[in-house]
Chain A
């Protein structure tokens, strides 16, 4: 294993607008010049946040090794950050993206005007990245395996919940429709240890990555590992918009703990590092 003497790593906590401590980690080349490009990474949500963490750390390290300053952080109620997920939804997490971006820009004020910032969003993080792109002044938006349709994403979460439910819960023969009904009525549902409530439900169920891409203030680059074996047609259809490119890349569903653990995702990380380098050139 190589020690990263040529890179710096700084981690700590900042306060978001609601007073919650948010964990952040900045990866940068040692002795970085002011004009190097910057990347802000928006992780997935809920348990996908945990599973994907190692991959996003490796992405940040690879970008830093290629000369990019990178900011990662944990949303409210995720990772090492304070707060809980039961009362919040996409709007509050989009606020977190903004708060971190503005804090990062203010602490590197002399750098902010000089260097472009790409926002990279993974899975539901791609929704948040797209929602925040305009207000944080993103020059580029990159989406990794984006959540395309919020309701489908929600239904998949509920299906997994039922699969791993303990015997007593399974004996109740709860269905996805019943769980969704509870959310619609304002109740909370436990999804693999994460309490989600009506704010999450209302904001996710109507979320559309396509609609966000249409309104994106900057070029959008989408990388998908083809978890279903091929690029979803909803993604390829987005290429009709100017400034949107879609790439199929080898990889796995790394946001779910599976039979094989690959935190390196060499092809996906490599393609992203190349794209950032191409921009900088």
Chain B
């Protein structure tokens, strides 16, 4: 594995620092910029990002893991704040300028012929999506893992579960209530019946009254779609963010389709938020490689059709032009 330190100096004069894991072949077919998961430094929670980068390198993909300003090795330090406030700042796009800076610096290093994807876990996925929406010419697509579509609430003000999340929880509650040991505990106050009742009500609701999208996510998502930005979304099936994405994005905006012209959604059924198990991480890496390969092939197909672009981002435009070209002929 070839590792290399990476720096990008912003217009503010401060340095953002990262590490490149180069494609083993030496000639990357694509590159991926992994953006901070919350306030985590660049190896990622449980070294998720390092593990993914190592696996992707074997399949010809160079990965840049970057620390945003104030995190890890980069200049500056975070303000001393309640953690939820820092997360809210990230969910409002605080790291987007650093993401775009990193993508541009990486493109300058690798050359414009290498398609660059932006990605990350949770808030990192959101940063990637908004950065792609802001700079669609800089990115070939977005790879989001358990993307955060709702804002982090203040402690003690948790938003109600969306319907599908509530339905997944009801099964667990039902099993507990059927257990002989459950009722003495319930009577002694050891089980929160009120919470169970609320969850049941949410599960039965047809509409997601409690489900409000983070405005930064929604605006970024809509702009990314309008710009033709390709998206791969991977979720852990037990993560609340999968249910939130399913109810608030996949169903209303993509009609429930996990495969579309501009998107692909995949779920690792037993995985949680951080994809802790090596097997889950391997599955995530396989799907990333497959999707990037599909994008690269589609971009090559457009080029062969003589439409003059190798950018996979322009695939949709290329298909439309091909159609109009054949009609003209």
Residues of A within 8 A of B (CB): 1, 3-4, 11-13, 21, 23, 25, 47, 50, 53-54, 57-58, 77-80, 82, 164-168, 190, 192-195, 257-264
Contacts and interface: CB of A to CB of B under 8 A. Distances in A.
B198 interface: no
Interface residues of B, number: 44
B155 A80 contact: no
Contacts of A167: 172, 238
B80 A262 contact: yes
A4 B75 CA distance: 9
Contacts of B19: 23, 80
B47 A11 contact: no
B174 interface: no
Contacts of B83: 257-261
A98 B76 CA distance: 30
Contacts of B71: 54
9 contacts: A3-B75, A21-B3, A47-B45, A79-B47, A167-B238, A168-B270, A193-B47, A261-B82, A261-B86
A258 B271 CA distance: 23
B46 A166 contact: no
Interface in B275-324: 275-278
B221 interface: no
Nearest to B71: A54
Contact of A50 (B17, B45, B81, B82): B45
Contacts, number: 106
Nearest to A5: B13
Given A54-B78, A167-B172, 7 more contacts: A4-B75, A12-B5, A50-B40, A82-B3, A194-B46, A261-B39, A263-B78
B58 to A, nearest CB: 14
Interface string B1-41: 10101000000011001010000000000000000000111
Interface of B is mostly: loop
A91 B198 CA distance: 52
B76 A193 contact: no
A80 B50 contact: yes
Contacts of A259: 82-84, 155
Contacts of A4: 75
Nearest to B50: A80
Contacts of B40: 50
B119 interface: no
A265 B278 CA distance: 34
Interface in B68-97: 71-73, 75-78, 80-84, 86
Interface string B209-224: 0000000000000000
A80 B48 contact: no
B278 A195 contact: yes
A166 B274 CA distance: 10
B54 to A, nearest CB: 8
A261 B81 CA distance: 6
B3 to A, nearest CB: 6
A260 B82 CA distance: 4
B26 to A, nearest CB: 17
A166 to B, nearest CB: 4
Contact of B43 (A25, A80, A195): A80
B36 to A, nearest CB: 11
Among A12, A77, A261, max chain B CB count under 10 A is at: A261
A54 B72 contact: yes
A23 B67 CA distance: 15
Interface in B223-278: 236, 238, 270-272, 274-278
Give 10 nearest A-B pairs by CB, closest first: A193-B46, A166-B272, A193-B276, A262-B80, A166-B238, A261-B83, A80-B19, A53-B41, A1-B76, A11-B5
Contacts of A50: 40-41, 43-45, 47
B42 interface: yes
Contacts of B46: 47, 192-194
Contacts of B277: 190
Nearest to B53: A80
A166 B14 contact: no
A262 B82 CA distance: 9
B274 to A, nearest CB: 6
Contacts of B65: 80
A263 B274 contact: no
Nearest to A53: B41
Nearest to B40: A50
A47 B46 CA distance: 6
Contacts of A53: 41, 72
